[in-house]
Amino acid sequence: MKPSEQQPTTPTDRVRLDPAGAAARTPSEVVEHLRTNTRTRLAHSKRFRVNQLEAFDRMLTQHRQELLDALQEDLGKSSTEAQLTELAMVNNELDHARRHLEDWMHTRSIPTPFALSPATATVSRRPLGLVLIIAPWNYPVNLTLIPLVDAIAAGNAVVLKPSELAPATARVLERIVPQHLDHRAVAVVNGGAEVNAELLRHKFDHILYTGGERVGRIVYEAAAKQLTPVTLELGGKCPVVVADGDPMGIARRIAYGKFANAGQTCVAPDYVLAVGPMAKKLERAFPKVIQEFYGSEPKDSKDFGRIINASHVSRLEGLLSSGRTLAGGQVDAGRRYVAPTILTDVTGDDPVMQEEIFGPILPIIAVPSVDDALRFIGDRPDPLAAYIFSERGHTVRAFEDGVRAGAVGVNQTILHLAVPELPFGGVGASGIGAYHGRAGFETFSQARPTLSKNIRLDTLKALYPPYGAAKSAVLRKLV
């Protein structure tokens, strides 16, 4: 069966737009509106999915500047950083999905046991139905729209809940999505915790939540009551082990991953475990790299972002008492500014090591060996990503074998997110499930098996009772 034949094309494939969006409806009314349309299998056909992905592409193109302006307002992101880490990544996911959609939708033939012959077996990917995406504030375009691409490609209707902590971006999404995507299949619902609570009272066929562990537990508990499957992206303290190599080159790669978006990245390096003499070498390198990236006064750099709100500024300021400040340490609450900061002489018991930092503060902890670093990481909850810097193959292999993490980076940080076909997800405390590329398509769809036999030719008589001695002997040989 061809993918396009899985669901006949009907007049409902014609896109209907609703410029007013969901703003005039309550969250419960939005859910019911989309649930009604999932019963008609509106979003299932290949044509509908392709049309929606093409409209998605037009939306990004036409409203690019509005999204960039909103990201600047919410997070102080420069146009270049926002383009690289937000819009370009959504475009890459969109292009990847459009190129591979037919292959992902293809029904696969599966060999059948001889005892069941003649028979045909297939596996097809079927849409789950109605999906809820609860997005975070730190990458409010990227982490809202990439899962939306995956859910649309998989043939679902979607309720999209942007974060209220990035209000400018949330307002733009609420306005532009209904101008381009079919309102019968996609709706944006804005609001705070009370809106999340109302949405979670409803039955969905899948929920994807990105954010902190505390709210993740609330989402998981609500989903469990409805037996709804979930994907949880929760973050964690992502370690970097520096075993050997050029300290300036290593410092640049760590600083890029750490200080992009002012450190508010779920896979950002959270702390550095520097082996032996690498600790002192990095202490000399990091201040030079910070000045190289952001000048002598990072507060005035157009390339260094801002903390999302005053509460998070205060939280980060409280972590600066840990260890010794090697570089940075300045805070300007009025401008939501926390300087790119390096802390040394930090121990595992210091406040900065008790929670995910989620800001531009980088502790360096000296360890005697790679084995000590692996033990340090293993004593803590599983991170969303873990990084190793080494030019020695046996060291890299020991790290890959010895660390449990959602992803591993070798001699780089955060760049794995730029590969659409690499699954993005956590393990243990850092999350459940994954998306991006094929993994996203599979997250939002069911692998449905079908076994078919000819009704006229009954070759199954040997399976039917009664089971005499001769029939039992034959069945034992067959199975």
C-alpha closest to that of 263 among 233, 238, 292:
238
SS3 48: helix
Q: How far apart are CA 314 and CA 37, in angstroms?
A: 45
Q: How far apart are CA 19 and CA 60, in angstroms?
A: 16
Q: How far apart are CA 374 and CA 414, in angstroms?
A: 20
Annotated catalytic residues are 233, 266
Determine phi and psi for 94, rounding to 5 degrees: -65, -50
Q: How far apart are CA 82 and CA 67, in angstroms?
A: 9
Strands 431-432 and 230-233: antiparallel
- Beta-strand ranges (E) seen in 243-303 are 269-275
SS3 420: coil
Inter-residue contact 384 to 212 (CB < 8 Å): no
What single letter denotes the amino acid at residue 436?
H
Query: Where does 122-277 have alpha helices with state H?
Result: 142-153, 167-180, 193-200, 213-226, 247-259
Return the number of other C-beta atoms located less than 10 Å from residue 244's C-beta.
Answer: 17
Residues 6+ apart with CB under 8 A from 211: 134, 136, 163, 233, 234
Assigned token pair, 115: 């005892």
SS3 460: coil
- DSSP letter at 292 equals H
Annotate 59-128 with DSSP letters as a single string: HHHHTHHHHHHHHHHHH---HHHHIIIIIHHHHHHHHHHHHHHHHHHPPEEE---GGG-S-EEEEEEEE-
Length of the chain: 479
Residue 61, judged by CB atoms within 10 A of its CB (0-12, 13-18, 19+), counts as exposed
Q: Euclidean distance between the first and final Cα of the chain, in Å?
A: 30
Q: What are residue 412's DSSP bridge partners?
A: none
What single letter denotes the amino acid at residue 469?
A
